[in-house]
Amino acid sequence: MTFVRVCGVSHHIRVDGTGPVCVLSAGLGMAWFDWDPVVPLLAPHRTVVRFDRPGLGLSGHARAWPTLTGEAERIARVLDAAGAGARTSATVVGHSLAGFHCEAFARLFPERTAGLVLVDSSVEEAPRARRAPEFTDACTRACGTLLSTVGVPRALGPLLRRTAVRAGRHSGGDPAPYDLVRGAYSTSRFLHAVLAENGRYRDQAVELASLRGRFPLGAPVTVLAAYEGGSRRWLDRQRVLAERLGGTLRVSAPAGHLVMLDRPQDVVDAILET
């Protein structure tokens, strides 16, 4: 476990295993330990780098609103800190919102990208910019301050985390130890970070659409989609994403959105075969 400063913020980084480098980036509001089921299966084959974005997990308070370019550069800085410098190419793996971040990294840093794996990634086919972004940012900041002042993170943070994980899985509860959950989800820094990531979601989708028109993808791409049965609309959107990126679609079933918890071997297979 290592802490490094990136853009003035203390970032928690963890490195396991040996071999070619692979960096795992978790979805909105998630922490390094959400990859725990994947790491023991992947570490014999890859040097696995995990990190917490500002405000999440064990990383320090966010100092700026998240941007897509900023998140791509953050991945580059994390790889530098983990010893995988500019001459080392890595497989970048992004879950949910972090799929935006990792695709942006692959487009902006092609020489550092060996492969791109999108794990049930966020998809926005026709993103639109927010109206009155300054006003909505101010409301988001005020909401975070109010909820923190009345003690919502400490009172409800871990419970909401557990509830969200159960809802995001095909079956089972939250496997993370309670002390880790309490430490990561009972703080005002977490609340501010997750509200900021959610509030800037549309901005990042618009920014990615712009990058797609200017920076081609040169690395192999795998889209790993979760499927629980029933409606196929989400699976169809993931298929279209894979086609748009010139990649391969793999389906993990039965699995909820938190594929790394439901079917970690599927995530490992997608990484090793990309």
Each residue's pLDDT, cut to its tens digit, for the chain (274 residues) gives 799 998 899 999 999 999 999 999 999 999 999 999 999 999 999 999 999 999 999 999 998 999 999 999 999 999 999 999 888 999 999 999 999 999 999 999 999 999 999 999 999 999 999 999 999 999 999 999 999 999 999 999 999 999 999 999 999 999 999 999 999 999 999 999 999 999 999 999 999 999 999 999 999 999 999 999 888 999 999 999 999 999 999 999 999 999 999 999 999 999 999 9
pLDDT in tens, 145-187: 999 999 999 999 999 999 999 999 999 999 999 999 999 999 9
Residue linked to tokens 């005020």? 142
Extract the tokens encoding 235: 């699976």
Residue 228 confidence (pLDDT): 93
Query: Residue 24 in contact with residue 102, Cβ under 8 Å?
Result: no
Residue 107 confidence (pLDDT): 98
Q: How many H helices and E strands in the chain? A: 11, 8
How far apart are the C-alpha atoms of 77 and 72, rounded to whole Å?
9
How far apart are the C-alpha atoms of 70 and 86, rounded to whole Å?
17
Instruction: Provide the strand spans (E) within the chain.
Output: 2-6, 9-17, 21-25, 47-51, 90-95, 113-119, 221-226, 248-252
Extract the tokens encoding 43: 């570490």
Q: How many CB atoms lie within 10 A of CB 272?
A: 16
Query: Residue 144 in contact with residue 192, Cβ under 8 Å?
Result: yes
Extract the tokens encoding 4: 């490094």
This prediction has a pTM of 0.97
End-to-end CA separation in angstroms for the chain: 27
In angstroms, the Cα distances linking 195 to 14, 16, 17, 35, 191 are 25, 30, 33, 22, 6
Residue 175 confidence (pLDDT): 97
How far apart are the C-alpha atoms of 274 and 271, rounded to whole Å?
5
Residue 224 confidence (pLDDT): 98
Torsions phi, psi for 22 (to 5 deg)? -135, 130
Residue 61 confidence (pLDDT): 95
